[in-house]
Amino acid sequence: MNAPNVKAVSDYLLDLQDRICGALETLDQEKSFREDKWIREEGGGGRSRVMEEGDVFEKAGINFSHVHGRQLPASATAHRPELAGRSFEALGVSLVIHPRNPYVPTSHANVRFFIAEKENAEPVWWFGGGFDLTPYYGFEEDAMHWHSTARQACDPFGKSIYPRFKKWCDEYFFLKHRGEPRGIGGLFFDDFNELGFETSFAFMQSVGDHYIPAYTPIVERRKDHPYAERERDFQMYRRGRYVEFNLVYDRGTLFGLQTGGRTESILMSLPPIVKWRYDWHPAEGSPEAELYEKFLNPRDWLST
Amino acid sequence: MNAPNVKAVSDYLLDLQDRICGALETLDQEKSFREDKWIREEGGGGRSRVMEEGDVFEKAGINFSHVHGRQLPASATAHRPELAGRSFEALGVSLVIHPRNPYVPTSHANVRFFIAEKENAEPVWWFGGGFDLTPYYGFEEDAMHWHSTARQACDPFGKSIYPRFKKWCDEYFFLKHRGEPRGIGGLFFDDFNELGFETSFAFMQSVGDHYIPAYTPIVERRKDHPYAERERDFQMYRRGRYVEFNLVYDRGTLFGLQTGGRTESILMSLPPIVKWRYDWHPAEGSPEAELYEKFLNPRDWLST
C-alpha cells in the first residue's frame, strides 16, 4: 500500500482546484474563472484558471500542472545533488490570490508531488507545499485564525509538525535583500516522505483542504472594509515585495521557468498593478508602520 | 602605463554621473535629482541619484558605486570559475530612466571596472558595460539614431567592435521565458581587457560619453507626443518585462543583491508603476502589435 500512486494524487489535485475555484467564485459576485488547458513540449501540461478584475479578487490564479522530463532542473537538485540527472514527474496545484481591497491579505497555497527515477534504482518521491498569508494592513485576529487553521491541518500527523513547518515557512518566505519576511507565514514543507506514501499523501491533502477554511473567513471579514487612495497606494507598493520574492527567490517559479513551463501560468502569480518608490518608509506611528513592526516579524501567533 | 589606475576610473565615473544628471535635469522642468551617499559594511559605498515624478522622467536613477570584498560572488564567477575565491574591487555607474510618456523609450546604461586579486598572482582586471533602449512604441528613426551613436562610440577602437557588442547585447537582454528581447538593444560588453588598460579604459569612456548623445535627442523628439490611457496602459504592461528581466536575469542586479549592496540603489531600476495581465496579446495590426513585430526582433538597424 505504500507504493506511490500518481493517479490518486492527480485526482485529488484536480478536485482541489475545482473546490478552491468554487469557493472563490462564491465570494466574488462579479467574475468567474477562465480556464486554459496547455500542453508542454517535453511532456505533460496543465489546467490554468484565472480570474481578473473581479469585485473582490483583482487577480486570482489557480494552476494545476503535471509535467515530466528527462532531467530534474537545477532548482530542484540544488539541495539534493544526489538526484541530479534523474528523470522526474511533478504534479501540483499552485495558487496566488490578489484581492482588490487592501484590507484583504494576499494569499498563496501550493501542494505538490515529485517522483525522480533512474534505471536500476528505487524511485525517490516526496511531497511539498504549504500556504502563507501577506497582509497589507494586519489584524491579529486574522493572523491567529490563519495559523490556528494551519495547526489544525498538521496536528493529526504529530504535534511537532506545525511548529516545524511554521518555522520553515518563516525562513523560506524571507526577502534577504530587504531583511523582511514576505508576510505572516503559515506552513512550508518539502522533501516530505517520512510517513510513508499513504500518510504523507494524507498530510498533503490535509494542507490542501485547510486552505479554504483558513482564507475565506478572512476575505469575508475584510472585503467591505472602507479604504481610500492611501491604502490602495500602500498595497501597490507592498505588492512590489511580492514580485521581488517570486522572481528572485521562489523555487516553484524558477523550477517552472527552467523546465520550460507555460510562462503565463507561472507568472499569473504576479500582482495586477504594482508600484516601486525609491527608499520609501512609512511614517512613524502610522498604520503602515504597524505592518512592519507587528506583522513583518516572525512570531508565534498561537502562544496566547 | 598599462597598469590599472583605479583612481582615474573613479574620477571619470563620478564626472560621468554628474554630466548625465545635468543633461537629464535640463530636459525635465519639474524635478531634480536627490542624492544619497551610502557606505557598505564589507567595504566601499556609493552615491545614488534619483529623480521621481518629474514631468518628463517618471523615475530616473543614476548610481555610482565603488565596492570591494574578500570574495567575488557567484554571479561574477559563474562564467569564470578560475576567479572564484579572489578578492575584488568593482566600480561603475549604472542608470535606468523610466520616462512618463509612453512614446519615449526606457533606457539603461552601465560602465564598470573590476579587479580581482589574490596573493602571489597578477591582478586580473576588466571593463564592462553598454547601453540599451526599450521602446513601447517604436520609431525606426530613433532606433537608427541609437545604434548609429553606439557604432560611433565603438568605431575608433576597431570596426569589429560594434557588430560584436551589438550582437552580445541582443543575446544578453533576452527574456528566455518569453522568447523576447528586452528592447532594441545597443551595446553590451564584459571581461574586456584586450586593448591593454589605457585603451580599454578609453573605450569604456567612449561608451559612457556616447550615452547622452544617443538618448537625449530621442527624448526631445518624443516627450510631447500626445498619448492617452491606452498607450499608458501598454507602457505599464510592457514595464513588467523590464522587471522580469532585471530580477530573473540581470547580472548587475544579482551581483548587487548577492554582495550586500544597498538594495534601494540596486532596485531603483524598477519602474514606478507596472501592470501584469494574464495571457494578454496585442490586437493584430495594432500599434502595440507593431512593437513586437518590427522592434522586438533583433535586426541590423544600420544596414540601409
* pLDDT beyond 60 at B304: no
What pLDDT band is residue B75 in, cutting at 50, 70 and 90? confident
Residues B66, B108, B145, B147: which is the catalytic one?
Answer: B108
Task: Name the closest residue on chain B to residue A49, using Cα atoms.
Answer: B278
Residue B267 distance to chain A (closest CA, Å): 8
Give B143-177 as a DSSP string.
HHHHHHHHHHHHGGG-TTHHHHHHHHHHHHSEETT
Q: Which residue in A59, A270, A277 is closest to B52 by CB distance?
A: A277
* pLDDT beyond 70 at A304: no
Residue B232 distance to chain A (closest CA, Å): 13
Give the separation between CA A142 and CA B14, rounded to whole angstroms.
Answer: 50
Which 3 state secondary structure label does DSSP give A66? strand
Quick one: DSSP state of residue B29? S
Chain segment B186-228, per-residue pLDDT in tens: 999 999 999 999 999 999 999 999 999 999 999 999 999 999 9
Strand positions, DSSP E, chain A: 34-39, 44-52, 57-69, 87-99, 106-117, 124-134, 174-175, 180-181, 185-192, 273-275
Mean pLDDT, chain B, rounded, equals 95
Q: What is the pLDDT of residue A237?
A: 98
Q: What is the pLDDT of residue A228?
A: 98
With an 8 Å Cβ cutoff, are B176 and A248 in contact? no
What pLDDT band is residue A177 in, cutting at 50, 70 and 90? very high
Residues A98, A108, A147, A210: which is the catalytic one?
Answer: A108
Cell (9 digits) for B41: 559594511
* pLDDT beyond 90 at B252: no
* pLDDT beyond 80 at B1: no
Q: What is the pLDDT of residue B80?
A: 86
* pLDDT beyond 90 at A254: no
* pLDDT beyond 70 at A1: no
What pLDDT band is residue A74 in, cutting at 50, 70 and 90? confident
With an 8 Å Cβ cutoff, are A178 and B263 in contact? yes
Higher pLDDT, residue B139 or A85: B139
With an 8 Å Cβ cutoff, are B52 and A267 in contact? no
B35 interaction partners in chain A (CB closer than 8 Å): none
Q: What is the pLDDT of residue B39?
A: 92
- Specify the length of chain A in residues: 304
Q: Which residue in B247, B276, B277 is closest to A248 by CB distance?
A: B247
Main-chain dihedrals φ then ψ at residue B113, nearest 5 degrees: -135, 135
Beta-bridge partner residues of A67: A44, A90
Q: Which residues contact B27 (CB under 8 A, 6 or more apart)?
A: B56, B57, B216, B219, B220, B223
Q: What is the pLDDT of residue A78?
A: 79
Give the separation between CA A244 and CA B290, rounded to whole angstroms.
Answer: 30
Task: Name the closest residue on chain A to residue B261, using Cα atoms.
Answer: A177
Share of chain B above pLDDT 70, in %: 99
With an 8 Å Cβ cutoff, are B50 and A276 in contact? no
Share of chain B above pLDDT 90, in %: 87
Mean of the pLDDT values across residues B42-60? 95
A108 is catalytic: yes
What pLDDT band is residue B74 in, cutting at 50, 70 and 90? confident
